[in-house]
Amino acid sequence: MKTQTPARNISSPVIEQFRKYGVTERKKNELDALTIQVMDAQGDVAQYQSIVNALTTKSNDLQNFLAIATNNKTQAYNNKILIDQLVQSAAELEKNADIAFNEMVEASLQTKKLTTDINTVMGKLIYSAEVINKLANLIVRKKALNPLISDELVSMVSTAGTDANNAVALTLVALQSTFAAQASEMEAETAIGLTYTQSIALTKLLTGSDGDCPASLQGLFYQAYADTRVNYTLTEKANFTTVKQLNMAKANLNTAQVKLKSLQSGLAAANAAALAS
């Protein structure tokens, strides 16, 4: 019967060295992997920080643009209110000038009629004065031939002749006054007519109601206000989008920074453990 040789315990220095080498290599690989993760995390942090910086600059610029757009919109709105008030004033001026011109024309017609009437009356007064004067002269001659003719009659006829002459003189003054009034009315009518014509031109310029004037000041101010509103809306939308992107980028940066700190702590602990072994 063959006896079995007992198994030997393999624990030679060479095997121990291989075991130790295997452990060291594994730790080195782990440290290298952690180092690469830390470097990648640092790259992510740098990338997100760059994005945050760029979006912050963009957001600040858009905030300034939004403030400018707000001021422009407010000013354009105020200009729109002012041009509306100016158009209203021009319309009232045109209406009042039209009324004044028509009234002046009517007054001028009445003055002309009055002048004609006074002239007619004066002609009749002149004729009456001539008749009365002739009658007075006739009565005076008859009085010289016939003393029975009443002195009172002679006096009355003489007074009537004087009154008739005075009436003619007064009527002449009235006629001269109507001529002067007519001249003044003609000047006023011309001035008011010019005012009315210019007020119409002003209204057309402001509102573009004239077919030969496709653009108007009111239309330009309205368009300017519409443009500022569009610009404000676009700027506000761009600012809102940028702020949203910036907040998201800050959140990503914060997450990347937390991850980097965690990896750095893990790497530091792994290095400490490797040095202690």
The CATH number linked to 121 is: 1.10.287.950
| pLDDT recorded at residue 1 | 41
Q: How confident is the model at residue 144 (pLDDT cuts 50, 70, 90)?
A: confident
Number of domains observed in the structure of the chain = 1
Domain membership of residue 21 (yes or no) is no
Domain membership of residue 9 (yes or no) is no
Domain membership of residue 66 (yes or no) is yes
Which helix or strand (DSSP H or E) is residue 226 part of?
Answer: helix 217-276
Domain membership of residue 232 (yes or no) is yes
Does the pLDDT of residue 277 top 70, yes or no?
A: no
| CA gap 169, 232 in Å, rounded | 79
| CA gap 99, 94 in Å, rounded | 9
Tell me the pTM: 0.61
Domain membership of residue 165 (yes or no) is yes
Chain centre distance of CA 10:
99
Structural domain of 38: 26-276
Question: Which amino acid, residue 248?
Answer: M
Q: How confident is the model at residue 4 (pLDDT cuts 50, 70, 90)?
A: very low
Q: How confident is the model at residue 70 (pLDDT cuts 50, 70, 90)?
A: very high
Domain membership of residue 16 (yes or no) is no
For 157-205, how does the pLDDT look when each residue is reduced to its tens digit (9 = 90+)? Answer: 888 888 888 888 888 888 888 888 878 878 887 888 888 888 888 888 8
Domain membership of residue 54 (yes or no) is yes
| pLDDT recorded at residue 247 | 95
| pLDDT recorded at residue 69 | 95
Domain membership of residue 41 (yes or no) is yes
